[in-house]
Chain A
């Protein structure tokens, strides 16, 4: 089930903060976050696992609410290099799709100087 990301787009000035949300209607085991710059491949940022474990980027934080099947990515003191499209990928608990990621449609983040 494709997760829903919000907002679809956000424009920031350098130094401002942003939050990107990802929501699923299914019970989740993990949430993965990726960033894709224009014309480039998506790059891994972070994995949030059921139970609270996080693995990933030092300057970007995220949360995972297992009960609500929601995750949020927090970008603080944004830099120009943060610009790009952010995708969340959700891994559902159990079922026949073990290990498969469902990606949202993306959130386009633009940081201006």
Chain B
């Protein structure tokens, strides 16, 4: 079974630009969560999508948005990039058959550098 895939793996942008990251979950998984990882901060939750609906949202500004398609693939968009947005962006998929958190399978991440 193929794992979670994320594209692109590396990205360099300049301040003010916009970026879109993509995540393809494991086949059969309907939940996709996005995290921002920076040194010393751990995994900061951005949002979760389940069956094309945003189910949970973290404390990030409105510049961070996402969506999920009918095939469960998800995209994350960051507009008006700032230097502080430089980070590793991870997505994780899970079955989410119950309302409770289940095992999350992480993708390799997209490393974003904002200059």
Does A103 contact B45, Cβ atoms closer than 8 Å?
yes
CB-defined contacts of B100 to chain A, threshold 8 Å:
29-30, 91, 98-99
Given A99-B48, A99-B56, A100-B48, is A105 in contact with B103 using a C-beta cutoff of 8 Å? no
**Bound Cα distance A89, B41 (Å):** 13
What does the 1/0 interface line of A1-35 toward B look like (CB < 8 Å)? 01000000000000000000000000001101010
Does B101 contact A32, Cβ atoms closer than 8 Å?
yes
Given A42-B43, A42-B90, A105-B40, is A99 in contact with B99 using a C-beta cutoff of 8 Å? yes
What is the interface residue range for chain B against chain A? 20 to 34
Tell me, yes or no, whether A111 is within 8 Å of chain B by CB.
Answer: no
Please tell me the number of chain A residues within 8 Å of chain B, measured between CB atoms.
25
Q: Which residues of B contact A (CB under 8 A)?
A: 4, 33, 35, 40-45, 48, 55-56, 90, 92, 96, 99-109
Starting from the known contacts A41-B108, A99-B56, 20 additional A-B residue pairs (CB-CB under 8 Å) come to A32-B103, A34-B104, A34-B106, A41-B4, A41-B109, A44-B104, A44-B105, A55-B103, A87-B43, A89-B43, A89-B101, A98-B99, A98-B100, A99-B100, A99-B101, A100-B48, A100-B56, A101-B33, A103-B35, A103-B42
